[in-house]
C-alpha cells in the first residue's frame, strides 16, 4: 500500500506535469440504442443513461475496461467504469488512444472527480444531453505512468474500503431491523 508520505510526494510532482485536451488523448464512441423488446435475455449488462443496470442482453458491444458516460436523461454525464463485457446503449465511451501514456483507470478517476462539471455540461431544456464533443476541450493532467499507477493504487484501495464499509453498514441495518422487530413485537419474551 502507498504511504501518506508517498501520496504527498505524488501530489507535489503533479505540478510539473502537462495538461492536454481530452480529444488529443482519447477516442469517443457512442453506444448502439436498442429497444427493450429487441433485447434477448443474457448475461451482459445493458448500459444506458441511468445509474443502475435494468436489463441484460445476450450480446455485448464493448469488452474489457470501459469508461462510460450517460448521454441523456436525468443522469446525463454520469461517469462509470466497467471491467467486463457490456452492451452500451444510450451512453458513450471514452477510451485512451495509448495506455502507455494515459491509463484507463487514471482517466476514469479523473473524470469521476469531475462528475459535477460533466453533468453541468448537459444541454438545457427538454431532456438533458451530454455529447462527446462537450468533453473535447476538457483539460486532462497526464503525469508519468508510474505516478498514474500509484494514484490508481491509492484510489482503488479507498474504493475497496468504501465497498466493505457500505456492505458492513447494510448488514448492521439488517441486524438492527431484526432486533428492533424481535424486541418490539414480542416484549413479553424479554
Whether the Cβ atoms of residue 149 and residue 6 lie closer than 8 Å to each other? no
Give the tens place of pLDDT for each residue, 27-60.
999 999 888 888 899 999 999 887 888 899 999 9
CATH of domain 20-142: 3.90.220.20
pLDDT of 8 higher than 70? no
**What are the two backbone dihedrals, phi and then psi, of residue 4, each rounded to the nearest 5 degrees?**
-65, -40
Give the SS3 label for residue 107. Answer: helix
Instruction: Name the E strands within 25-175.
Output: 26-30, 44-47, 56-57, 65-70, 79-83, 87-88, 91-96, 139-142
Whether the Cβ atoms of residue 67 and residue 107 lie closer than 8 Å to each other? yes
Q: What are the boundaries of each domain within the chain?
A: 1-17+143-190, 20-142
What percentage of the chain reaches a pLDDT higher than 90? Answer: 59
Q: Model-level pTM greater than 0.85?
A: no
Amino acid at each position: 500500500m502507498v504511504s501518506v508520505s508517498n501520496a504527498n510526494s505524488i501530489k507535489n510532482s503533479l505540478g510539473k506535469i502537462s495538461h492536454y485536451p481530452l480529444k488529443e488523448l482519447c477516442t469517443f464512441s457512442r453506444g448502439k440504442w436498442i429497444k427493450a423488446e429487441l433485447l434477448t435475455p443474457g448475461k451482459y449488462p445493458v448500459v444506458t443513461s441511468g445509474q443502475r443496470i435494468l436489463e441484460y442482453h445476450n450480446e455485448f458491444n464493448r469488452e474489457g475496461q470501459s469508461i462510460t458516460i450517460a448521454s441523456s436523461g436525468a443522469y446525463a454525464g454520469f461517469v462509470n467504469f466497467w471491467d467486463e463485457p457490456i452492451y452500451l446503449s444510450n451512453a458513450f465511451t471514452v477510451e485512451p488512444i495509448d495506455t502507455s501514456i494515459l491509463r484507463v483507470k487514471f482517466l476514469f478517476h479523473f473524470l469521476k472527480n469531475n462528475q459535477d462539471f460533466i453533468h453541468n455540461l448537459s444541454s438545457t431544456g427538454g431532456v438533458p444531453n451530454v455529447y462527446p464533443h462537450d468533453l473535447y476541450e476538457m483539460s486532462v493532467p497526464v503525469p508519468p505512468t508510474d505516478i498514474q499507477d500509484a494514484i490508481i493504487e491509492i484510489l482503488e484501495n479507498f474504493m475497496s474500503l468504501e465497498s466493505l464499509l457500505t456492505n458492513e453498514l447494510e448488514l448492521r441495518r439488517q441486524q438492527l431491523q431484526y432486533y428492533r422487530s424481535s424486541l418490539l413485537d414480542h416484549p413479553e419474551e424479554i
